[in-house]
Structure formats: structure tokens, C-alpha cells
Amino acid sequence: MSGARLELDRLGKRFRGLRAVHEVSFAVPAGAIHALIGPNGAGKTTIFNMIAGVLAPDAGAVRLDSRTISGLRPDHVCDAGVGRTFQLVKPFKGLSVLENVTVGALHRHRELAGARDAAARLLDRLGLHDRRHQLAESLTLPDRKRLEVARALATEPKLLLLDEVMAGLRPTEVDVMVAFLRELNARTGLTILLIEHVMRAVMALAAEVVVVSSGEKIAEGTPQEITRHRAVLDVYLGEPEAS
């Protein structure tokens, strides 16, 4: 598809005969923010893992800028320009906040001084500069979430996969993260695909939303269209309360 940064073409995955993902296709244009939503167990993280190289698809293909990356090792997918966060935030224990981000920055900066400077700039933008020398495992949940985003951005991706980075955050903290991601996208043109259950974030960020259930895509459209989609209401969002 012309202009697509990311393309999923009839992607499929089975685990011991259990169909986890079945013929899922969608595209994310360069510079866009899209969301992938669905109930727990719908296959969202499996899709992310196939994009990022953690899992090889059993069928279909993943393409980045028209280049097939499905089946590549995770480090080669990262080389190609894909960065990702993880749903369970696990910073490197025993390392400071700055050292955690520097590890990611070393992927593009071969000199330690350059990697450290790049990491420090990211921490400043994410409001973690004052905590840069603190042990990463001692951070609060909101700060660990921001650190996770900083570690992914340190690899200097052109496609950023965000796996529930706003789960567990208070509404004001969600608003701060939304504002940061919106500004980042506007300033750099970074393409973002996010898995998110916090619908206020999805509505504020995503130009398009893909909905999966039981491993299959059941809907795709703008956030406003998705909130009115019959199948989505049935399996995920639920019926609105009667007035």
C-alpha cells in the first residue's frame, strides 16, 4: 500500500493448534497514530510480538516501508526502525534511570558519551531528568511507564509500538502522556501504533482504530466510527446505559 509505514497482510499465528491470530490485515501510514484495541486475550500483544520479531507468523507478512520484516530477529527488526514498549514494565535492575536509557541509545550511538547525551535529552523531555541517577526499579509506576517509553525512543525508531503505556495511570497522568505523544508525533513525524484500554487516550490520539476479537479483525475506522460499530459494542465497549 503506497505511503504505508507498516503493513500487516493476512497475518496468522497458532499456538499448539489454538488459533491466536487469523488473517489480520491493516496498514498504518507514515506519520500517523493508530490504535489496536480489543478485549483481553484478543491477540493484540501477539500481533505486536510478530511485528517486533519476538514471534514469527505462521501465515501472512509484516512489511515496514514495503520491506518484509516478518521472521527477522528482534534486533534486526529494531535495526530496521521498530521500537516497542512492553505491557509489563521491567527496567534493568541495578542500573540508574539514565543507564537504562543509555543501553537503548547505544543501538544507534556507538560511543558511550554520545549515547549518554542522547539518553539525557530524552529523560529531560519526559520529565525524568531529576531522577536520572535514581535506581530504575525504585521509580513509581507513572515514572516507570515514562522510562519504558524513553528506552524505546532511545533506539531512534521510525515506528513506535506502545503496549498499554497508560494502564494504571491516573487521569491527569494519562493526559500528560497523551500530550507528550501528540507533541512527539507532530514534531518528529514518528509513526505510532498503540495497544490501549484507556479509551480517553485512544480517542485523543488515534486517527484510526483497529479492533480485534478472538484473533480476528472485526472493525476498523475513526474513533467516532468505532464507538458506534455494532460488533465492537457487542464484544468490547458494551452497551451504553439507558438514559
DSSP string, 164-203: STTTT--HHHHHHHHHHHHHHHHHH--EEEEE-S-HHHHH
Rounded percentage of the chain residues whose pLDDT exceeds 70:
96
Taking the C-alpha atoms of residue 139 and residue 187, their distance in angstroms, rounded to an integer, is 28
Residue 243 has what pLDDT? 33
Return phi, psi of residue 184, to 5°: -60, -45
Residue 132 identity: R
Taking the C-alpha atoms of residue 20 and residue 14, their distance in angstroms, rounded to an integer, is 5
Taking the C-alpha atoms of residue 220 and residue 208, their distance in angstroms, rounded to an integer, is 7
Position 1 pLDDT exceeds 50: no
Residue 233 has what pLDDT? 84
Domains and CATH numbers, the chain: 1-81+157-243 (3.40.50.300), 93-156 (no CATH)
Position 239 pLDDT exceeds 80: no
Taking the C-alpha atoms of residue 119 and residue 202, their distance in angstroms, rounded to an integer, is 27
Query: Which residue is it, cell 519526559?
Result: 126
Show the DSSP H helices in the chain as ranges.
44-52, 74-80, 97-105, 112-125, 141-153, 171-188, 199-205, 223-226, 230-232
With CA atoms as reference, report the closest residue to 235 among 39, 20, 41: 39
Residue 43 has what pLDDT? 95
Tell me the per-residue pLDDT of 101-132, one tens digit each, with 9 for 90 and over. 999 999 999 899 999 999 999 999 999 999 99
Tell me the per-residue pLDDT of 7-17, one tens digit each, with 9 for 90 and over. 999 999 999 98
Taking the C-alpha atoms of residue 50 and residue 13, their distance in angstroms, rounded to an integer, is 9
Q: Which helix H or strand E contains 128, and what residues bound it?
A: none
What mean pLDDT is reported for the chain? 93
Banded pLDDT at 156 (limits 50, 70, 90): very high
Banded pLDDT at 237 (limits 50, 70, 90): low
Taking the C-alpha atoms of residue 17 and residue 32, their distance in angstroms, rounded to an integer, is 35
Taking the C-alpha atoms of residue 141 and residue 2, their distance in angstroms, rounded to an integer, is 39
With CA atoms as reference, report the closest residue to 212 among 7, 14, 45, 32: 45
Banded pLDDT at 3 (limits 50, 70, 90): confident
Residue 67's CB: how many other CB atoms inside 10 A? 11
Taking the C-alpha atoms of residue 181 and residue 190, their distance in angstroms, rounded to an integer, is 9
